[in-house]
Structure 1
Amino acid sequence: MNNWLNCKKILCIRPDNMGDLLMTTPALRALKQTFNAQITVLTSSMAAGIASMIPEIDEVITFDVPWVKTSTASGQEAVTAVVNQLKQQQFDAAVTFTVYSQNPLPTVMLAYLAGIPLRLAYCRENPYQLLTNWVPDKEPYDIIRHQVRRDLDLVASVGAFTEDERLSLQLPDLWPQVAQKLQQLGVDIQKPWLVMHPGVSEPKREYPQERWAEAAQKAVNELGYQVLFTGSGSEQAMAASIQGLAGVGTFNVAGQFKLSEFATLIAQAPVVVSVNTGTVHIAAATNTPTVVLYALTNPQHTPWMVPSQVLSYSVPPQAQSKNEVIMHVSRYLNNTITEMPCADDIIAAVNALTRRNAAEQPVINLTGIKHFGV
């Protein structure tokens, strides 16, 4: 285990999306509490905004690595510059967090070149000197864990633990200004409303617009909700298209909120219906009941420790990833066709989550381990 007890400055590298960083927060808490350490996170521009709202993080370094899909890729000079920046910080240790389909070694190399003395990560092949603390990666060939459990198990290997395994998000009191914006958009905040979030970064995880519209119509007519279609500024046109199909009682609020305001909106919602994206993990961090339309790509990312209903469906063959690890999971875990949920399925899930007593609400998350043969 080396001498992690003396680590007071720890670099945590999570170079992908906002939802990935949120799922890492229990592991960050374990490191901070166990070692009484200052936590610096190196993350992408896509996740940097949410990082400022995570109380376990003391400092954020924003850097888009060229080996992770991001909106902006950094060149060779930028890589050299960030290595020099890390070297100047004189970290005691570095932890690289990954999903099982990622190769950790390019990211680990940043810490190695920066001279960080202790380096922890999962890796399938022997990393030799690149890692001082190597945890052989058995996923997904022998086991599959939820991403939160995967990250907690990683830091547990060096003696870091926490009793609080919930996702972490600390929001300022922004509800008055969020409520004012909703009223200006025509929403009656004194009447029931819910959030539907159709936007997703990858087409293979999309849910059809006409089905969103049908579900929204049913939520209005059968359950008595106003429906707010949320999304980023770039998703305004899509949200407007769905809202146009859905009609009376629905509102396009995409692009109207800063990230902190959007998280506040999610926190205030009685239930959120979303595709599998960062919104699901914001909802988990704010304890908001969630219906997730879950394209069967990575099974690790279901809602964590929050009342939820997971409505899964298969990804069409032509849209599936060419990553050989993900293809393996598709062959052995998702080897039957699961049809897309219909509007009635969504309404039934919403109804179940909003009408049951909190103590009776189903919590669906992959806290355990799945074993399967190859």
Structure 2
Amino acid sequence: MKSLALLPPPGAAHAPVAASRALAPWGDDVKRILCVRTDNLGDVLMTTPAFHALRDACPGRHLTMLASTAGATLAPFLPDIDDVIHYEAPWSRSRPPRSHPADLAIRALLEERRFDAAVIFTVYSQNPLPAATLCYLAGIPHRLARCRENPYALLDDWVRETEPEQGTQHEVERQLTLVRAVGASTNDTRMRMRMRELDRKTLAATLARRHIDAEIPFIVIHPGASAESRRYPAERFGAAAAQLVLATGMNVLITGNQSEAPLIRAAIDAAGPSARPFMHDLTDAFDLGAFAALIERATVVVSNNSGPVHIACALGTPVVDLYALTNPQHGPWQTPHRVLFNDVECRWCYRSVCPQGHHACLRGIPPADVAKAALDLLDETGEPASGAQPASNAIATHTG
């Protein structure tokens, strides 16, 4: 099995990312910090160690997150975030049509909140200067971000952007090194998601209504992803699921939102009639809290590289990550895992649809490898079958 770390990074060289230039640490007077992270759920989760470092650096700090709909939904589960401002930023993709009065209203709100500092968290393909301009116009005195060009007055604290030309960091480490530049560091670099008993009870009630015994070990498979280029074929998920049922006798819970219902049905159909009694369609069955509780209870999660992988990492759940080679920075972090991919010359394309049309980085992974990776994780974490009886040897696998 190949490791992402062994593949050539995007850009010209294997050189490590250059060290940040020296910045003055933020003092005890920097109490109210705006954390700007206006992209997706997984991006927010991968920033949680940096949130913790900011809070840990100075007692009494108050952190507010400026977030998209996905990020705002996640905010109640983030232990280091005190409150959230929902903002569909015009510099973020896939946003609905809008007019500038909404942006002026956000600027006024930020000014009214009188923040001492703002940290603008970005992936390296994003430009921080629109957010920096907003924070500058709101009168926030300290503004920190990574930037390629000289931001002049828009950022008073900034780290030169060197990715991807001088190598890349995992997204967690990227954000930790950013805040470390102003004196915020932590020895605890885990991703964080705070679970609530209400969500665990909601999960139990939802599974009970569907006649699924939550006390019996189960596997979660998530065949969807927001980008087509990051989706392993649903039929192959089904073939892998059939092999897992055969080996463990566990229930396999297939999750996704309403738009992913065809993928879920295709995976269940491909598993074949013998495995089907163990397969459960959980299309649109949960809100975020109950879904996280499901991930928390799973023996292993098998998923495309999408939000469920990052939730699993935050909760310490073993995960098999079907990793399309579109972006090298967003793999699993500090949880038992296997990363599966087929190496291709066109790696790190950053495209939502495979530009070559072959989708070989995912289609080159046999379902048997997916099942083996999950079984290896179950063995390593002491969860093999957990009392469940293997299903009949008559189960057949179908690749569709």
TM bin, normalised by shorter chain, reads 0.7 to 0.9
2 CA distance for matches of 1:226 and 1:255?
18
The reply to whether residue 253 of structure 1 matches residue 277 of structure 2 is no
Aligned to 1:16: 39
Counting only pairs closer than 5 Å after superposition, residues 263-302 of structure 1 correspond to structure 2 as 263-302=292-331
- Which residue of the partner structure matches residue 241 of structure 2? 216
| Match of residue 56 from structure 1 | 80
Listed as ranges, the matches of 1:36-51 within 5 Å are 36=59, 37-51=61-75
CA contact (8 A) 1:123 1:137 kept: yes
8 A contact 1:46–1:70 mirrored in 2: no
Pick one of 19, 25, 28 that aligns with 2:48.
25
CA contact (8 A) 1:185 1:253 kept: no
Deviation, 1:248, is 2.9
Q: Deviations over 1:275-300 (max 9, x none)?
A: 01111111011000000000011111
Partner Cα separation in structure 2 for residue 302 and residue 203 of structure 1: 18
Give me the CA root mean square deviation.
2.3
Asked whether the equivalents of residues 219 and 226 of structure 1 are also in contact (C-alpha less than 8 Å), the reply is no
Aligned to 2:26: 4
Q: How does 1:225-244 map to 2 (within 5 A)?
A: 225-244=250-269
Counterpart AA for 1:143: G
Q: Secondary structure at the match of 2:293?
A: helix
2: CA distance between counterparts of 1:295 and 1:322? 10
Q: CA deviation at 1:109?
A: 1.3
Distance (whole Å) between structure 2 residues aligned to residue 318 and residue 293 of structure 1:
14
Residue 330 of structure 2 aligns with an amino acid whose one-letter code is: H
1:159-191 Cα distance to aligned partner (Å, 9 max, x none): 001111101111111323312321322323343
Pick from 207, 222, 239: which aligns with 1:197?
A: 222
Is residue 12–residue 42 contact of structure 1 (8 Å, CA) maintained in 2? yes
Stretch of structure 1 that moved more, 4-13 or 73-82: 73-82
**SS where residue 230 of structure 1 aligns?**
strand
Mapped to 1, the partners of 2:191 and 2:347 lie a distance apart of 34
1:47 maps to amino acid: G
- Residue in structure 2 matched with residue 362 of structure 1 by the alignment: none
Contact 2:128 2:145 in 1 (8 A): yes
Deviation of 1:342 after TM superposition, in Å, equals: 1.3
Partner residue, 1:179: 204
Q: 1:322 offset after TM fit, Å?
A: 6.3
Deviation at 1:2, TM superposition (A): 4.6
Aligned with 1:256: secondary structure?
coil
Gaps of 5+ in 2: 1-22, 383-400
Q: In terms of Rg, which structure is larger?
A: 2
On the 8 A contact 1:291/1:309 being kept in 2, the answer is: yes
Question: Secondary structure in 1 aligned to 2:103?
Answer: helix
Matched, 1:352 2:379: no
Report the TM-score when normalising by structure 2: 0.82
Q: Is the 8 A contact 1:64 1:70 kept in 2?
A: no
Aligned to 2:155: 131
Q: Which ranges of structure 1 fall in alignment gaps of 5 or more residues?
A: 331-335, 359-374
TM-superposed CA distance for 1:231, in Å, is: 1.1
CA deviation vs aligned residue, 1:258-312 (integer Å, no higher than 9, x gap): 1000000000111100101111111011000000000011111111110100002
Alpha-carbon distance, 1:320 to partner = 4.5
**Larger helix fraction of residues:** 1
Structure-2 change in CA distance of 1:290 and 1:32 (3 Å): same
Equivalent residue for 1:305? 334
Structure 1 74/157 Cα, relative in aligned 2: closer, same or farther at 3 Å? farther
Asked if the contact 2:255/2:284 (under 8 Å) is kept, the reply is yes
Corresponding letter in the other structure for 1:208: P
Deviation of 1:226 (Å): 1.1
Give the Cα–Cα distance (whole angstroms) in 2 for the partners of residues 320 and 168 of structure 1. Answer: 29
Give the count of matched residue pairs.
348
Secondary structure in structure 1 of the residue aligned to 2:168: strand
